[in-house]
């Protein structure tokens, strides 16, 4: 697919978009960011032919697609300051409405890839669900052809659905990562490298998706083994007493799901 694309933003989402576009021989014609150096670093890394601009008034007006890879709060502000352009405007947020763009430019769409992005980390997007929404046929066709080029998995959705799914994403990404942070603290406290947990965690994830997580739950709370739970609480009292509320609530939640009659004795 030949397409003139402009990237707006230079954070983690912009970085992964640039990386994936470049992997498919699509080099954006320009990247805009308020801080020029950040955009320049991304262009140098992934697409040296891409122009770097730090004023919205100077972005190319004749691109086919404008990808707003911005924080939720920046999208309305940047949309309001955009010059009048052709092509399709798309933003990548789960939780910002389509109207935030169509208010200024009717050929607009939501282009939300369900994944986790950080600066300095390029995520391969192949197979990632792409939740989209648009009221413009031209925007729809452009978006679907871009999705095909990037080998993502397009799924039409409403704002309401994306917002609800976003909560599931927080449980399975942000909260899972936080539990790994706690586990890594406990390992390092005992002088053990965190990566000893890698085979365990990878098998946990593989099994949860190969079967269903509820059906492969293991551990003392799943077994209703209150003796081991009590011993773990004593270990935590020594190792990291501030982890006990998390340990208790998660154990109780598992006990409730699988042993409706059991509960932690100190509750």
- The interface with its own copies within residues 198-257 (CB under 8 A) comprises 198-205, 207-214, 216-222, 228, 231-232, 235-236, 239, 243, 245-247, 249-250, 253-254, 257
Residues 99-118 that bind its own copies (CB under 8 A): 114-118
When computed from its CA atoms, the radius of gyration of the chain, rounded to whole angstroms, is 23
Contacts 24+ apart (CB under 8 A), 153-161: 153/127, 153/128, 153/129, 154/130, 155/129, 155/130, 155/131, 156/131, 156/132, 157/110, 157/112, 157/131, 157/132, 157/133, 158/133, 159/95, 159/97, 159/98, 159/110, 159/133, 161/131
Minimum Å distance from CB 2 to its own copies?
A: 27
> Under the criterion CB under 8 A, does residue 156 sit at the interface with its own copies?
no
The minimum distance between CB 108 and its own copies, in angstroms, equals: 22
* Beta carbon of residue 39, minimum distance to its own copies (angstroms, whole number): 21
- Is the Cβ–Cβ distance between 71 and 100 less than 8 Å? no
Using the minimum distance from each CB to its own copies, give the nearer residue, 57 or 214: 214
Site string for its own copies, 78-97 (x = CB under 8 A): -----------------x--
155 sits near its own copies (criterion: CB under 8 A) = yes
Please report whether residue 123 would count as binding its own copies according to CB under 8 A: yes
Q: What is the DSSP letter of 124?
A: P
Q: Give the x-and-dash track for 32-61 against its own copies (CB under 8 A).
A: ------------------------------
Cβ-based nearer residue to its own copies, 85 or 115? 115
**Could you tell me the smallest distance in angstroms from the CB atom of residue 24 to its own copies?**
17
263 is a site residue for its own copies (CB under 8 A): no
Pairing relationship of beta strands 51-53 and 65-68 according to DSSP bridges: unpaired
| Phi (first) and psi of residue 169, to 5 degrees | -65, -35
Q: Which CB sits closer to its own copies, 92 or 107?
A: 92
What minimum distance in Å lies between the beta carbon of 76 and its own copies? 14
The nearest distance, CB 193 to its own copies, in angstroms, is 9
Of 44-52, 82-90, 97-105, 185-193, the window that binds its own copies (rule: CB under 8 A) is 185-193
Show the DSSP H helices in 53-158 as ranges: 74-81, 99-102, 137-150
Task: Determine which helix (DSSP H) or strand (DSSP E) holds 10, and give its type and residue range.
Answer: none
- Tell me the site size for its own copies, rule CB under 8 A: 85
Dist. CA 7–CA 92, nearest whole Å:
11
Quick one: 62 or 77, whose CB is closer to its own copies?
77
Handedness of CA 5, 10, 12, 13 (dihedral sign): negative
Closest to its own copies by CB, 45 vs 163, is 163
Instruction: Cite the DSSP H helix spans in the chain.
Output: 12-23, 36-46, 74-81, 99-102, 137-150, 159-169, 176-189, 198-210, 220-223, 226-239, 244-258
| Residue 262 contacts its own copies per CB under 8 A | no
């Amino acid at each position: 697919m030949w397409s003139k694309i402009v990237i707006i933003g230079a954070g983690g989402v912009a970085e992964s978009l640039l990386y994936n576009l470049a992997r498919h021989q699509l080099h954006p014609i320009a990247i805009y960011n308020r801080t020029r150096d950040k955009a320049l670093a991304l262009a140098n890394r992934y697409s040296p032919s891409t122009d770097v601009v730090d004023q919205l008034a100077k972005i190319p007006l004749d691109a086919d697609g404008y990808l707003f890879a911005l924080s939720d709060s920046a999208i309305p502000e940047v949309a309001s300051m955009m010059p009048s352009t052709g092509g399709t405007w798309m933003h990548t947020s789960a939780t910002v409405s389509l109207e935030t763009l169509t208010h200024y430019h009717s050929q607009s769409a939501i282009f939300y890839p369900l994944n986790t992005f950080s600066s300095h980390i390029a995520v391969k997007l192949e197979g990632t669900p792409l939740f989209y929404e648009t009221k413009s046929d031209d925007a729809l066709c452009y978006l679907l052809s871009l999705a095909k080029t990037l080998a993502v998995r397009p799924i039409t959705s409403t704002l309401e659905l994306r917002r609800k799914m976003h909560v599931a994403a927080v449980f399975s990404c942000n909260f899972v990562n936080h539990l790994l942070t706690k586990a890594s603290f406990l390992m390092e406290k005992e002088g053990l490298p965190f990566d000893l947990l890698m085979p365990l965690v990878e098998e946990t994830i593989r099994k949860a998706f190969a079967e269903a997580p509820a059906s492969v739950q293991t551990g003392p709370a799943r077994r209703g083994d209150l003796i081991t739970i009590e011993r773990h609480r004593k270990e935590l009292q020594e190792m990291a007493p501030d982890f006990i509320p998390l340990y208790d609530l998660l154990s109780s939640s598992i006990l409730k799901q699988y042993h409706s009659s059991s509960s932690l004795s100190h509750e």
